[in-house]
Amino acid sequence: MPILRSDLLFYYLMLGAAVLAVATTWVVLHSRFGYGLIAIREDEGAAAVMGVNTTLYKIAAYALSAAFTGLAGGIYAQWNVFINLDVAFNINVSIDSILMALIGGLGTIGGRCWAPSCSSS
């Protein structure tokens, strides 16, 4: 059972998690780690030749992604309280995820490109 049963509390928890995720993404994209990930995305072989430890960078990116997924899932599980097959395996969740990527743009934050490699226009 959740400690407190307040929808407003869970709203602020999810809002805080979203702000933390967006801020972390912005910081990562403007750091050496982010530049390494962009280099790996463009050409993994060339990035490895230039000294980027591609395995370490990919595992760190995966772990960072898993941490935020786990955080959001933990908050959602506390809010939902129980596992319901209609909620856990709902096809609309998959469709919404695909639509968000299509509408917002793949690799963007909020539909706008924040990566240093994007043009400033």
d(CA 46, CA 40): 8
Provide, rounded to the nearest whole percent, the portion of the chain with pLDDT above 70: 79
pTM attached to this predicted model: 0.70
What would the pLDDT profile of 34-79 be if each residue is shown by its tens digit? 999 999 999 999 999 999 999 999 999 999 999 999 998 888 888 8
Going by C-beta distance under 8 Å and a sequence separation of 6 or more, which residues neighbour residue 86? Answer: none
Helix then strand then coil, in percent of the chain rounded to 5, is 70, 0, 30
Q: What pLDDT score does 60 carry? A: 96
